[in-house]
Chains A and B, each alone.
Chain A
């Protein structure tokens, strides 16, 4: 008997991915930390990891859908296999996480443009203002630098604000406050003040949104000392990371993606919080390690389907934690496959991939059989024209070619 992976194999459009302990990966050492709960474990009777087949990735009116994911057995799954969970879209998962945390701690509040009465431009805060009031879900004037600074001041004096950038790109206006105050004040004050803010918003290349609305700020923020950065990619990890970020005493920047808000998945009913510092094993494999995050995960999984048909066995890891990198999960993978391909949406220069390449070369040089390859977006302001926009971003065909090249 095999407990069917929730939703997988069903005919409808689902994307499902789970975080779990993979056999052979020693994540037990970090298991003792209370926030790190993995759940949604699924058992296959033979305990093998099997990629699901005959699945097509489809673009359905802006929703990128993929379901080429494998799950892995874990010893203690019998209790969790019985929980059916509930289905929702990624933005709803974010809202669920947000709402649970706001219920749990009255100091949690949301600050941003159109988060209150409008419900958020991507509906992440829908219906929260009527429930919690205009002060807890604060509609701000268009003044990113100042309201981000205001959130920092509020955090220093005891609140736990979540700043929403309507589009991540707008937070460039708040860079002063994010860099100078958010990241630095805990240190500069000698540890006296903590800044438990969460800064979140949608970024990434969308559908012909133009250059300024298609920015990827993870590369700009990564050097700021004192902040953590995570990127969510599925409803499951979106909710878990949102909750973890809110509970963290550190300032956390949570990157969402404009095109992923309508992904649907079945997530557990019981409460769960994910670890901010851990990567997620999406698909174990033997031949090559593919490191990715956010939307590119789906391009990678789409390419993985093609690769599997061609006889390759890629291991796909969603790094999730953009700063700091989970060098344990990544390292174990490199030690197994000896080949690394990084696929990201960031621009080439100074991007997350560049840092990751350096980290892998520094730490795991001896285990590499080939140079680390990094596929990033072109160093181009994202053009409006659909064809040009498509060529700025890494497409599955390029991923397939890169893997073939690396695995020669």
Chain B
């Protein structure tokens, strides 16, 4: 066990201790005493909700996947049955994370080449959260994100070509070029956005969860168990909409999981300088829902927590607040020089790159060979190249598109002086009509 202990100390990521101190009641999670095959196991997450300030809290110790692997190797007879994932699942996770990383890297390139403009917020380093959660969802489940939404869109199934095209502002983009980087929407894949103001998407996600409950209880669709995930950052957790929605979701037991991507920085504002109590997971029990903290650089840990939170919501037991400790390797956006963050901190997290960690886990456990994983990387490169080509070749939106989606019912433009609805004017579709 000594390796695990020393690993814990070294990998202390935050100045505020997130490991063993201060949680005497959580003996289940004391790594020294845990008997589970997975250090910092969250297998025992059965949220009996109603006691907010005591036993419904769960914390996992912050340990790297590689140390889990070491730990497992110390035990004898590790078999495939002890592993957290099957080969297929592992490959799926790996591919999704590589897709996210490669896509974001390509975005940076394209931005600096003048193919996309405005505010572009990249997700490098946080892939474990998106992949860990979204790959557990069904197509009918909904995801609601923020401006850092490219990878959430990809994980949810929006084709890379549609996302890239949207970033280039082309008519073939998922939002016809009208949304842009910060407003990715897909009705087909139930991606509800893409919001520029922080906190703005949380009520929308709460509404989607409300619809799910409404369909089951009012419209009597007994099999409607759709779950909604709301992703947002540490800065958002000081915003009123966050708290208001935690309250409503817990009050009505809505099938929603609030996923905090705590990357410690809101542009240049450190989470610790902005928040009186920086442990966000604690705010869940204050509203009557479980609050969980998980290592967001480790896709397997995230996945374990996500499984429980999502199935809890599906069972109708209500919301969960999951704080994922993660990190963005790049600046807040492509316009951010990122001079404020300590290089040592960046290096510490770079050493916990989720993609490399999963690769090590899979190869060490013989789930996949280096060659198979490299083949995936190559495949993704081709997907990304194809996406760029598609976006390049796509047309820009024509003028006629300007007014088309302002109203779902274009009668909303009103009646013109001639007595006809303005939308009946042939010039209207050309975008040259006077409105």
Residues of A within 8 A of B (CB): 26-27, 29-30, 33, 106-107, 109, 133, 135-136, 140-141, 143, 145-159, 176-177, 180-181, 185-196, 225-226, 228, 248-250, 276-278, 321, 323-329, 331, 363-364
- B94-112: which have CB < 8 Å to A? none
B409 near A177 (CB under 8 angstroms)? no
B412 near A141 (CB under 8 angstroms)? no
Q: Residues of B contacting A136 with CB < 8 Å?
A: 214, 218
A190 near B185 (CB under 8 angstroms)? yes
Residues of B within 8 A of A (CB): 142, 144, 173-179, 183, 185-187, 192-197, 200, 202-215, 217-219, 240-241, 244-245, 247-248, 251, 404-409, 411-422
B187 near A153 (CB under 8 angstroms)? no
Taken together as a complex, chains A and B put the C-alpha atoms of A158 and B207 apart, in Å, by 10
A326 near B415 (CB under 8 angstroms)? yes
B414 near A109 (CB under 8 angstroms)? no
Q: Find the residue from A27, A187, A195, A278 having the highest chain B CB count within 10 A.
A: A187
* A188-B185 CB under 8 A given contacts A106-B219, A328-B415: yes
Taken together as a complex, chains A and B put the C-alpha atoms of A83 and B174 apart, in Å, by 53
| 19 CB-based A-B contacts, threshold 8 Å | A136-B214, A147-B248, A152-B207, A153-B208, A156-B204, A157-B142, A157-B208, A176-B200, A185-B185, A187-B178, A188-B194, A189-B175, A190-B405, A191-B176, A196-B408, A248-B409, A278-B415, A325-B414, A326-B414
Q: Residues of A contacting B211 with CB < 8 Å?
A: 153-154, 157-159
B218 near A143 (CB under 8 angstroms)? no
* A189-B214 CB under 8 A given contacts A154-B207, A248-B409, A277-B412: no
A150 near B248 (CB under 8 angstroms)? yes
Taken together as a complex, chains A and B put the C-alpha atoms of A90 and B183 apart, in Å, by 41
For the complex formed, measure the closest distance between the CB of B238 and the CB atoms of chain A, giving whole angstroms.
15
* A189-B179 CB under 8 A given contacts A148-B203, A150-B207: yes
Q: Find the residue from A33, A154, A177, A363 having the highest chain B CB count within 10 A.
A: A154
Q: Find the residue from B209, B244, B247 having the highest chain A CB count within 10 A.
A: B244
Taken together as a complex, chains A and B put the C-alpha atoms of A278 and B415 apart, in Å, by 8
Chain A residue nearest to B174 in the complex (CB): A190
A328 near B185 (CB under 8 angstroms)? no
Chain A residue nearest to B413 in the complex (CB): A324
Q: Residues of A contacting B251 with CB < 8 Å?
A: 141
Q: Residues of A contacting B186 with CB < 8 Å?
A: 192
For the complex formed, measure the closest distance between the CB of B210 and the CB atoms of chain A, giving whole angstroms.
5
* A186-B408 CB under 8 A given contacts A141-B244, A154-B211: yes
Q: Residues of A contacting B210 with CB < 8 Å?
A: 150, 153-154, 159
Chain A residue nearest to B251 in the complex (CB): A141
Q: Residues of A contacting B177 with CB < 8 Å?
A: 190
B418 near A156 (CB under 8 angstroms)? no
Q: Find B405's partner among A187, A325, A331, A363 (CB 8 Å cutoff).
A: A187
Known: A147-B203, A177-B200, A192-B186. 19 other contacts (CB 8 A): A27-B419, A30-B419, A136-B218, A146-B206, A146-B245, A149-B203, A153-B203, A180-B195, A186-B405, A186-B406, A186-B407, A187-B178, A189-B405, A193-B192, A249-B407, A249-B408, A323-B414, A327-B414, A327-B417
Taken together as a complex, chains A and B put the C-alpha atoms of A187 and B407 apart, in Å, by 7
Taken together as a complex, chains A and B put the C-alpha atoms of A328 and B409 apart, in Å, by 19
Chain A residue nearest to B207 in the complex (CB): A153
A249 near B406 (CB under 8 angstroms)? no
* Shortest 3 CB-CB contacts between residues of A and residues of B: A153-B207, A149-B203, A324-B414
A194 near B408 (CB under 8 angstroms)? yes
Taken together as a complex, chains A and B put the C-alpha atoms of A140 and B153 apart, in Å, by 31
A153 near B204 (CB under 8 angstroms)? yes
Q: Find the residue from A145, A151, A188, A194 having the highest chain B CB count within 10 A.
A: A188
Chain A residue nearest to B213 in the complex (CB): A135
For the complex formed, measure the closest distance between the CB of A370 and the CB atoms of chain B, giving whole angstroms.
20
For the complex formed, measure the closest distance between the CB of B309 and the CB atoms of chain A, giving whole angstroms.
19
Taken together as a complex, chains A and B put the C-alpha atoms of A277 and B423 apart, in Å, by 13
For the complex formed, measure the closest distance between the CB of A364 and the CB atoms of chain B, giving whole angstroms.
7
Q: Residues of B contacting A106 with CB < 8 Å?
A: 218-219
Chain A residue nearest to B421 in the complex (CB): A30
B205 near A145 (CB under 8 angstroms)? no
Taken together as a complex, chains A and B put the C-alpha atoms of A192 and B173 apart, in Å, by 12
* A152-B418 CB under 8 A given contacts A186-B406, A187-B405: no
B244 near A328 (CB under 8 angstroms)? no
B207 near A189 (CB under 8 angstroms)? no
Taken together as a complex, chains A and B put the C-alpha atoms of A78 and B292 apart, in Å, by 71
Chain B residue nearest to A185 in the complex (CB): B193
Taken together as a complex, chains A and B put the C-alpha atoms of A154 and B252 apart, in Å, by 14
B183 near A151 (CB under 8 angstroms)? no
Q: Residues of A contacting B174 with CB < 8 Å?
A: 190
Q: Residues of A contacting B409 with CB < 8 Å?
A: 248-250
Q: Residues of A contacting B215 with CB < 8 Å?
A: 158
Q: Residues of B contacting A155 with CB < 8 Å?
A: 207
Taken together as a complex, chains A and B put the C-alpha atoms of A249 and B408 apart, in Å, by 6
B203 near A146 (CB under 8 angstroms)? yes
Q: Residues of A contacting B245 with CB < 8 Å?
A: 146, 150
Q: Find A250's partner among B193, B217, B412 (CB 8 Å cutoff).
A: B412
Q: Residues of A contacting B200 with CB < 8 Å?
A: 149, 176-177, 180-181
For the complex formed, measure the closest distance between the CB of A379 and the CB atoms of chain B, giving whole angstroms.
27
* A190-B176 CB under 8 A given contacts A153-B192, A325-B414: yes
Taken together as a complex, chains A and B put the C-alpha atoms of A82 and B289 apart, in Å, by 60
Q: Residues of A contacting B214 with CB < 8 Å?
A: 109, 135-136, 154, 159
Q: Residues of B contacting A181 with CB < 8 Å?
A: 195, 200, 204
A250 near B408 (CB under 8 angstroms)? yes
* A145-B240 CB under 8 A given contacts A136-B218, A154-B207, A277-B421: yes
* A152-B417 CB under 8 A given contacts A158-B211, A250-B409: no
For the complex formed, measure the closest distance between the CB of A12 and the CB atoms of chain B, giving whole angstroms.
36
Taken together as a complex, chains A and B put the C-alpha atoms of A321 and B411 apart, in Å, by 12
A327 near B415 (CB under 8 angstroms)? yes
Taken together as a complex, chains A and B put the C-alpha atoms of A379 and B327 apart, in Å, by 50
Q: Residues of B contacting A147 with CB < 8 Å?
A: 203, 244, 248
Q: Find the residue from A29, A148, A149, A278 having the highest chain B CB count within 10 A.
A: A149
Taken together as a complex, chains A and B put the C-alpha atoms of A191 and B204 apart, in Å, by 17
* A277-B417 CB under 8 A given contacts A140-B248, A185-B193: no
Taken together as a complex, chains A and B put the C-alpha atoms of A148 and B248 apart, in Å, by 12
* A154-B247 CB under 8 A given contacts A30-B420, A159-B214: no
Q: Residues of B contacting A325 with CB < 8 Å?
A: 414
Taken together as a complex, chains A and B put the C-alpha atoms of A248 and B414 apart, in Å, by 13
For the complex formed, measure the closest distance between the CB of A356 and the CB atoms of chain B, giving whole angstroms.
12
Q: Residues of B contacting A30 with CB < 8 Å?
A: 415, 419-421
Chain B residue nearest to A194 in the complex (CB): B408
Q: Residues of A contacting B202 with CB < 8 Å?
A: 146, 149
Taken together as a complex, chains A and B put the C-alpha atoms of A191 and B176 apart, in Å, by 9
Taken together as a complex, chains A and B put the C-alpha atoms of A145 and B175 apart, in Å, by 25
Chain B residue nearest to A150 in the complex (CB): B207
Taken together as a complex, chains A and B put the C-alpha atoms of A187 and B200 apart, in Å, by 17
A141 near B248 (CB under 8 angstroms)? yes
For the complex formed, measure the closest distance between the CB of B399 and the CB atoms of chain A, giving whole angstroms.
15
Taken together as a complex, chains A and B put the C-alpha atoms of A26 and B210 apart, in Å, by 45
A192 near B175 (CB under 8 angstroms)? yes
Chain A residue nearest to B179 in the complex (CB): A188
B247 near A143 (CB under 8 angstroms)? yes
Q: Residues of A contacting B217 with CB < 8 Å?
A: 135
